[in-house]
Structure 1
Amino acid sequence: MRLLPGTDIIEIERVHRLIEGGEDAFLARWFTDAERAYCSGKAHPAAHYAARLAAKEAVAKAVRWQWTGPVPWRDIEVLHDEGGAPLVRLTGQVADWAATQSVTVVEISLSHSRQHATAVAIATQG
């Protein structure tokens, strides 16, 4: 068994500007309906979107995404378990890629301050 790490950090203000600028295309490209409903329902949506954006980037790094073309970001979905802990669900091309890499589990951790959101992903291979 091998552990494959990935991490990312995002400026919350950058995400806030995209949301406030009416960038529906940005939200639709990056986030599933469930993610959008969750983040939009929070007092500070940009912080929650930024944390999920960081998680998606961290997961792509952890699974060693190498297909040609852009990552299909909606194939990496950040949800929560019954206790509220973040979890990741891979679908579509990302799930297929992870399977070819013998990735069996991906765990994530999210955090944010007033200025930045960060995420760590650990993929288990083998």
Structure 2
Amino acid sequence: MQIYTGIDIVENERIKKAIEKFGDRFLKRIYTENEIKYCKNSIPCFSARFAAKEAGIKAYYQAFKKILYFNQIEIIGKQGQPAEILLHLKENPSKAYKISLSIAHENKFSTAIVIIYTD
């Protein structure tokens, strides 16, 4: 088994400013419709998902040497349960894999770690 990791931290104010400046253009470029509905107007929620996507891009590249884009990654929120990561891929990698995600946010920062396990 091989293990690949990606980690990211985001200052919540940075995401707030991007949303204020670019509005829906930014939201729709980075987030899926489900993520926008789930987060509503919560900056820490959007920031944590941004960090999760960045961490996912890093881990996926290590594992498969392919670049993911923001719109290929969806963070599934479940109230009271850990978030999950869902990849929207045109073609699946040649080897089996499992993805684990952990996100956290507080007033100033949001962070995420993604771990990919391959056979």
TM-score with structure 2 setting the length: 0.87
Number of aligned residues: 117
Residue aligning to 2:118 = 125
Kindly provide the CA deviation profile for residues 87-110 of structure 1, in whole angstroms up to 9, marking residues without a partner as x: 0001124xx3x613x251111000
2:44 aligned with 1:47? yes
2:103 aligned with 1:110? yes
Residue aligning to 2:53 = 56
Shift of 1:25: 1.1
The 1-side partners of 2:7 and 2:25 are apart by: 25
The 2-side partners of 1:83 and 1:121 are apart by: 20
Q: How is 1:1-126 mapped onto 2 (pairs within 5 angstroms)? A: 1-40=1-40, 45-64=42-61, 66-67=65-66, 71-81=68-78, 84-93=81-90, 96=91, 99-100=93-94, 102-126=95-119
The 1-side partners of 2:96 and 2:7 are apart by: 17
List structure 1 segments (4+ residues) > 4 angstroms apart after TM superposition: 65-68
- Unmatched tracts of structure 2, length 5 or more: none
Identical-pair percentage:
30
Partner secondary structure for residue 99 of structure 1: coil
**Contact 1:35–1:78 (CA<8 Å) still a contact in 2?**
yes
The 2-side partners of 1:80 and 1:113 are apart by: 17
Shift of 1:10: 0.6
